[in-house]
Amino acid sequence: MISLSFDIVTVGGGLAASAFAASMARNGMRVLVLEKETQFKDRVRGEFVATWGVAEARELGIETQLFNTCATPIPWIDMGFGPRNLVETTPQQLPCMSFFHPEMQEVLLAEAERAGAEVRRGVTVTSIQPGANPSLLAAINGSEERIPARIIVAADGRGSAARKWAGFSPQRNAQPFHFAGVLLTGVSGRKDMGTFVFNPELGLVGGIVPQGNDRFRAYLGYPTDGSFTLQGSEKLGTFLAESRKVGPMFADCYAQAKRLGPLASFDAGDVWIDHPYRDGVALIGEAGATSDPSFGQGMSLSLRDARVLRDALLGDSDWDQAGHLYAEQHDIYFHRLHTVCVWMRKLFQEQGPEADARRQTAMPRIVDDLSRVPDHLFGGPELPMDESVRARFFGEDRLNSAKSA
C-alpha cells in the first residue's frame, strides 16, 4: 500500500481545475494543482458565463469571491430581438457574469490555496500513468518528479495532451467556422448587457461582452471559406469591418474602439470524449469536451464538470465507481447541450439552399414567438429537450399539423 501525499492531483490550473480544487480542498481533501504558467496572459478565451454556469459557480462556493474581485454581473442580453432581463426570465433568476480571463484564473487559484490546496506554478505535466494506482510525471527546472494520487484530474484545456496520455479517444464534429476574439476599449454600448447576434445569411455571429473598466471582449464567428482569416493584431480592421456586417447594433459601437490585447481565431468544431473517466483519470473542462465557442457554453460546462465530479467523489469512497458515475452524467448533460447547439447552427449559421429553406420556414415563426428558440444556452441542459422542442424551433409543428389536417 503506497502512502500518498495527495488525494487529488490536477493537470492544469484553469477555471475547471481551480474551481474543482477549491471545492475539494474545502471538503478536507489533499489537493495538488500543477499549472505550467507562472503568469497568466490573454489567450483569447471565454469571458461570459451564462446564467446556468453562474448557478454552478454558486454551488461550488466561488460565485461571491468572483463578484467581489474580478467579475461583473451582466443581467441583460440582446440577441438581436431587444434587451432581455435574465434575472427575471431564467429558472436560476441570476445574471450572467463576465471577467478578464487571466484575472479570474489568478483569483480562483488563490481561492484554491486559501481553501488548503497546494498550487505549484511553472510545473509542466509530461505524462500520466493510468491504473489502480494512478500517477503523473511533472517537470520543473529540468528535473522530473513522479506524483501518485488517488485520482488524477486532467483539466489541461482544449489542446489536452492528457487525454492522449491516459488513452482516451476524442470524438470530433468538424465545422466550417472559426471563432475570433479581441479585447477592446472605447466601445460604445451598455455596460450591463451582453450582445450575441447571428446573421444567418452571412454565417456570422458577433458578440460584445462588457467586463468593467471600459474593457469589452469582442467576438466574431465566421465561415472558414478562405475569404479572410482573423489571426494577428494587424487584422483588427478586418475584424471590425466584418463585425459591422452582423447587424445594426455593431455598426456604430466600434467607431472609437482600440485594441488592448491579441487578436486570435480558433477552430469552432466540437471535440469531446465519450465517458471521460478511466483507470483513475477524470477529464474535466475543455479536456473532456470542447464546445463551439459561438454558443458560449464552455465555462458553464467546465463548472458543471467540477461540481458533478466533486459530488460523485464526496458521495462514494470507491473513487473508481465515483469516476464512472461522473462520466455517465457528463455524457448526458454534454450531449443535451451539444444537440441544442447543433440545432442552432443549422438554423443560424449554416449556408446553402437547404439552410435557406429551413430559415424560410422557421424564422417568421420565431419572430412572431421568441419562445420557439430553446433557452438551454441560459437555462441549462436540464430544460425540456424532445422532438416537440426541436419541431417548434424549426417551425415544423405547424407544417406537421397542416399536413395532418
Residues at the site binding ligand FAD, with contacts judged by CB under 6 A: 11-17, 34-37, 44-46, 48-49, 124-125, 155-158, 161, 179, 181, 266, 285-286, 293, 296-300, 302
CB of 10 to ligand FAD, least distance (A): 9
Q: What is the DSSP string of 262-285?
A: --EEEE--EEE-SS-EETTEEE-G
Contact 12, 118 (CB under 8 A): no
Q: Considering only CA atoms, which of 278, 27, 281 is closest in space to residue 149?
A: 281
Enter the C-alpha cell of residue 78: 440582446
Rounded Cα–Cα distance for residues 131 and 145 (Å): 18
Among residues 46 and 276, whose Cβ is nearest to ligand FAD?
46
> Which residue number, 182 or 355, has a Cβ lying nearer to ligand FAD?
182
46 vs 323, beta carbon nearer ligand FAD: 46
Q: What is the Cα 123 distance to its own chain's centre?
A: 24
Residues whose CB is less than 8 angstroms from the CB of residue 123 and which lie 6 or more positions away in sequence, other chains included? 34, 35, 36, 138, 139, 140
CB of 125 to ligand FAD, least distance (A): 4
> Measured from the CB atom, is 121 or 365 closer to ligand FAD?
121
Q: How far is the CB of 38 from ligand FAD (least distance, A)?
A: 10
- Min dist CB 369 to ligand FAD, Å, is 27
Cα four-point dihedral sign 275, 279, 283, 289:
negative
Report the residue number, 36 or 244, with the smaller CB distance to ligand FAD.
36
Closest approach of ligand FAD to the CB of residue 269, in Å: 12
By beta-carbon proximity to ligand FAD, the closer residue of 49 and 325 is 49
Identify the residue whose cell numbers are 441544442: 340
The DSSP code sequence of 133-167 is S-EEEEEETTEEEEEE-SEEEE---TT-SHHHHTT
CA dihedral 330, 11, 221, 394 (to 10 degrees): 0
Residue placing its CB nearer to ligand FAD in the complex, 15 or 253: 15
Distance between CA atoms of 145 and 173, rounded to whole angstroms? 37
Q: Shortest distance, CB of residue 201 to ligand FAD, whole angstroms?
A: 23
Asked if residues 84 and 118 have their Cβ atoms less than 8 Å apart, the reply is no
Least distance in Å: CB of 252 to ligand FAD? 23
* Shorter beta-carbon distance to ligand FAD: residue 36 or 259: 36
DSSP-derived pairing of the beta strands 118-121 and 31-35: parallel
Distance of closest approach, residue 317 Cβ to ligand FAD, in angstroms: 27
